Amino acid sequence: MSSILTNNGATAALQTLKNINKSMGNVQEQISTGKRVNSSKDNAAVWAISTAMESDVAGFKKVSESLSLGQATVSVARQGAETVADLLTQVKEKVVSAQEENVDRAKIQTDIAALRDQITAVVGASQFNGQYMLENTGTAEDSGGINVLASLDRSFSGVSSSDIRVSKEDLSQGAATAGSVSVDASLGNTVVAGESNDVATFVEDTAGGLTTGNTYQFTSGGNLALSEDVAYVAREGDTLEDVTNGLVMKLNEQAAADGLDVTFSQSDTGVGTISMTNNTDADIAVAAGEFQQAALDGSEDDGGIGGRLEVLASMDVSTQAGTDSALAVIDGLIEVAIDSAAAFGSSEMRLETQADFVSGLTDALKSGIGTLVDADMEETSARLQALQVQQQLGIQAMSIANSAPQSLLGLFR
């Protein structure tokens, strides 16, 4: 039935053309944005996943920036520690030269003082953006390091961050001051002439582990005639072995300065035990209770955490006793600098590895997001051309449908 009031053909053609135009609008949006999922109305599930992943990508960009800053900071510290090791090697050359009696020890001491000042300058300059990694002097509260943001970890319970801890490696020459000593942890023994024996031992804090700021002290007793007490203040990251080695180095320095023909070392018995070798012709008794440890409690009696190159500040080769004392400790100082540089090197390598991982992970996340939301441009192009043909046909069909009522005029002629 033909009607001039209702053109069913035009109505059908119009609806078809509207659908074609709507599809063309979607395709054109995909072409202009490069995405097939631009908002939650396109695909709510995919949009939610991609948006969460995009937030992770944004977070990992900040993680990369943090790792870059951490790498730069640790790299500066490593360079500084390596330079200190080189300068200490030069100090050792001077100390060895001073062993010869027919030399001008005063001039050698002047050279050592200049090298010592240069080490201080290097330690002071080894900072990045105000973060010092080679200085840790002061009280226990000043000790520490840096936490470098390393990753974001997503789980069912939420998102958490993880850090890479880089501890300071103190290479300053500040003097340590012992805090209140209250706990004995001594062994005490007689060391027969020409032999070695354990003379002192200690354990980790009763609370478990070593606490930054704890003082470990060896006081002279028996007929071991040390003119001064020897103290070591634990730093962050110190192990029982670090404390033992620190005390051994100071004991050897003090013994040489006092003209005692004895040598201290870390005992084979176990970590935390110090052995003494008696190079004299007489037995030496070390009284029990002469080796002590105490935790600092934040009171005025607390000690200051000295630099690990503390003994360098008092090194003086102008006398034979001073020369012997310097020779007894210089290798230990070099080892401290080498260990510090190695620790920074390991941390820098870890940061670089993590930075590479984060970069690769970010690329993988971006690729995954692209797989979810990016438009297939080849398919989109073919779809656009097909819709353009359909649009032309729709317009033609619309024109034909609109002209159909005109044919009814012929029936009334």
pLDDT tens profile 351-383: 999 999 999 999 998 888 888 887 778 777 888
* Predicted pLDDT at 328: 83
Which span out of 35-39, 61-65, 272-276, 327-331 was modeled with the highest average pLDDT? 61-65
Half-sphere exposure of 158 (CA within 13 A, CB side): 2
The candidate with the shortest Cα–Cα distance to 331, out of 90, 83, 92, 78, is 92
Residue 282 lies in a domain: yes
Q: Is 324 inside any structural domain?
A: no
Residue 156 reports pLDDT greater than 70: yes
Expressed as residue numbers, the domain containing 210 is 183-305
Structural domain includes residue 201 = yes
Tell me whether residue 232 is in a domain: yes
Kindly report, residue by residue over 193-222, the tens digit of the pLDDT: 889 988 887 766 555 555 566 677 777 777
Residue 296 in contact with residue 179, Cβ under 8 Å? yes
pLDDT tens sequence across 307-335? 788 888 888 888 888 888 888 888 889 98
Is the pLDDT score of 73 beyond 80? yes
Cα–Cα distance for residue pair 53/50, rounded to 1 Å: 5
Higher pLDDT, 400 or 182: 400
The pLDDT of residue 395: 84
Instruction: Give tens-digit pLDDT for 95-119.
Output: 999 988 888 989 999 999 999 999 9
Lowest mean pLDDT across 7-16, 169-178, 245-254: 169-178
Q: Choose the weakest-confidence range: 3-12, 15-24, 52-61.
A: 3-12
pLDDT at 91 over 90: yes
241-251 average pLDDT score:
84
Q: What is the CATH number of the domain that holds 239?
A: 3.30.70
pLDDT band at 338 (very low <50, low <70, confident <90, very high): very high
Please compute the mean of the pLDDT values over residues 10-24 and round it to a whole number: 85
Alpha-carbon span 67 to 165, nearest angstrom: 12
**Residue 320 domain-assigned?**
no
- pLDDT of 234 > 80? The answer is no
How far is it, in rounded angstroms, from Cα 36 to Cα 26? 8
**What pLDDT, on the 0 to 100 scale, is given for residue 173?**
82
- CA dihedral in degrees (14, 18, 24, 28; nearest 10)? 130
- Residue 211 belongs to a domain: yes
Number of structural domains in the chain: 1
Query: Is residue 238's pLDDT more than 60?
Result: yes
Of 19 and 144, the structure prediction assigns the larger pLDDT to 19
pLDDT in tens, 173-198: 877 655 544 334 456 788 898 899 88
When pLDDT is averaged across residues 34-44 and rounded to a whole number, the result is 81
Asked whether residue 29 carries a pLDDT value surpassing 60, the answer given is: yes
Confidence category of residue 152, pLDDT binned at 50, 70, 90: confident
Q: Which two tokens stand for residue 119?
A: 């080490």
Residue 329 lies in a domain: no
Q: Is residue 269 part of a domain?
A: yes
**pTM of the full structure:** 0.69
3-state secondary structure the chain: CCCCCCCHHHHHHHHHHHHHHHHHHHHHHHHHHCECCCCCCCCHHHHHHHHHHHHHHHHHHHHHHHHHHHHHHHHHHHHHHHHHHHHHHHHHHHHHHCCCCCCCHHHHHHHHHHHHHHHHHHHHHCEECCEECCCCCECHHHCCEEEEEEEEEEECCEEEEEEEEEECCCCCCCCCCCCCCCEECECCEEECCCCEEEEEECCCCCCCCCCCCCEEEECCCCCCCCCCCEEEECCCCCCHHHHHHHHHHHHHHHHHHCCCCEEEEECCCCCCEEEEEECCCCCEEECCCCEEEECCCCCCCCCCECCCCHHHHCCCCCCHHHHHHHHHHHHHHHHHHHHHHHHHHHHHHHHHHHHHHHHHHHHHHHHHHHHHHECCHHHHHHHHHHHHHHHHHHHHHHHHHHHHHHHHHHHHC
